Amino acid sequence: MAAQTFIAIAELHPNIYHPKVAGVIIWKSDVKSFPDRKNIGSDRFTFGFTIRDSPDFFINVAAWGNDGYINGLSSSFCIGDCVTIENPLISNKDPEKGERFCPTTPSRYRLLLTEAHSQVCLCADMDTADRLLPLIHIPVKDVRDFYSLGDIVANGQKMDGTMINILAAVKSIGEPKHFTTSEGRKGQRQEVKLFDDSAPSFSLICWDREVIQLMQSLNPGETVLFIADAKISFDSFRKGMAATVNYKTVITVNPDTREASLLFRYAKEAIESGALDEDEKPEDIPVDSITDVYTVDQLKQKGCDTSEPFFGITYSFMSKLNLDLSVSKVIKMWCSRCKFQVSEDAQVCTNNLCPARDEPFSTTTGFNLMVDFTDHTGTLQACTLRSPVAENMLGCTPEEFFSLTEDERTALKWKFLLERCKIYVKIIPSTKMRTGIKGIVLACLLADPGEVKQHMSALLQQLG
């Protein structure tokens, strides 16, 4: 089929005979079923999708039919595919229902598909596909019309129930969780963590299989999303704001915009430096409330068996503590405003999205160590030990550490190295962005011999 035989979405009209349309799919819903009022005891099936054939025009498509036709058609393409549609019914938008359950489009019409009259297939014309594919990177809303995550958090419950646009980077992608409702319907839920230069973490909740499938294909730390018409609500469980993908939400992956390009660059550098990993905040939970005791092997095993961070205590030897390296490897500097890691001689923040780039530059300094701890069951490597936890453990500030001689640093190192310690730790399980579990030291004390003996006795009892 030649590309020139297709009718542009902008030129569609109900009077056109046997129209042929081509477009790239930018939105797609899950299949739904409803009782058929004409045939009691049977169901009608439906799903919708949105196609785009130019930067300015896109249109909604609805398909209705029996189980086999609708599920077969839905499984034949996904978001990002280029399709051709032959002989759809061109219908005016319903003035009452409008576009309540699908994205808002600039077209006055919508397309309806039936098994008897319409045909949908993947676009086989490479020239047409090459022209359409770049359109998936153009947001469906004004590229400057979006909220930062920091603005959403700052406004709090004032934004509860609103529909807004968001530009953010993907930090992590949770595993889909499946459930069954009280009516027997099966469902799924996925949480995606977003971030930008104003907030280290923000939850995006996905419910539809089509969206979850899209999210599963993304690379955290290397993906920026423009999320049009996300619903903002207060999450009482997390006691904070969250965004939800709904029927009207259109997600543009790695948008072709200046703002997205700047955020992409920031995201790559921020992930590599660890400057905004909110999972590393020691104030997640009061240390005094952590009571579960683990061996190193138990920490590793639980970290592989769960998808959620957890906290524990381990009585282990500090087997790696490189305090006698060069000071630049022990102590790091961050921009005071955006917390982006900078070099010692930096005169300005190197984060292009830093909100204080035009203001006087200031930095904060802190310990940034990787430590290992070992017990009779194994070693947990490369655990993060940062300020202020490191300051409390070592008994000195970064400024005081700077003034220590090499011998004094070595002596400080051996105060803890190969000594039995009581280590409070947060374990972050493996994710798509990071293979292997990660440990974050929340507190570290030289262990009391009597407490260690009591712990070992309890452990021997467990082993029988």
Average pLDDT, the chain: 84
pTM of the entire structure? 0.66
Name which of 24-28, 99-103, 237-241 the model is least confident about: 237-241
Can you tell me whether residue 353 is helix, strand or coil? coil
Can you tell me whether residue 215 is helix, strand or coil? helix
Given its phi and psi angles, is residue 330 left (phi above 0), alpha (psi -120 to 50 degrees) or beta? alpha
In the prediction, which pLDDT does 211 show?
93
Confidence of residue 1 (pLDDT cuts 50, 70, 90): very low
- The pair phi, psi for residue 359, each rounded to 5°, is -105, 165
Output DSSP code: residue 147. B
What is the CATH class of 287-463? mainly beta
Bridge partners, 168 (sequence order):
225
Domain at 9-135, CATH from 3.40.1160.10, 2.40.50.140, 1.10.1740.10, 3.30.365.10: 2.40.50.140
Tell me the pLDDT tens digit for each residue of 333-364: 877 776 667 777 777 776 666 666 667 788 88
Confidence of residue 274 (pLDDT cuts 50, 70, 90): low
In the prediction, which pLDDT does 453 show?
65
Can you tell me whether residue 222 is helix, strand or coil? coil
Percentage above 70 pLDDT, the chain: 87
In the prediction, which pLDDT does 207 show?
92
Q: How far apart are CA 432 and CA 172, in angstroms?
A: 7
Tell me the pLDDT tens digit for each residue of 426-435: 888 765 444 4
Tell me the pLDDT tens digit for each residue of 374-402: 998 999 888 888 888 889 999 999 889 88
Delimit the CATH 2.40.50.140 region(s) of the chain: 9-135, 149-273, 287-463
State mean pLDDT over 438-463: 72
Tell me the pLDDT tens digit for each residue of 287-307: 888 889 999 999 988 888 777
Percentage above 90 pLDDT, the chain: 34
Q: How far apart are CA 336 and CA 61, in angstroms?
A: 50
Tokens linked to 90: 């061109």
Can you tell me whether residue 230 is helix, strand or coil? strand
Tell me the pLDDT tens digit for each residue of 108-148: 999 999 888 899 999 988 889 899 999 999 999 999 899 99
Domain at 149-273, CATH from 3.30.70.20, 2.40.50.100, 2.40.30.10, 2.40.50.140: 2.40.50.140
In the prediction, which pLDDT does 419 show?
86
Q: Is the peptide bond before 95 cis (omega within 30 degrees of 0)?
A: no
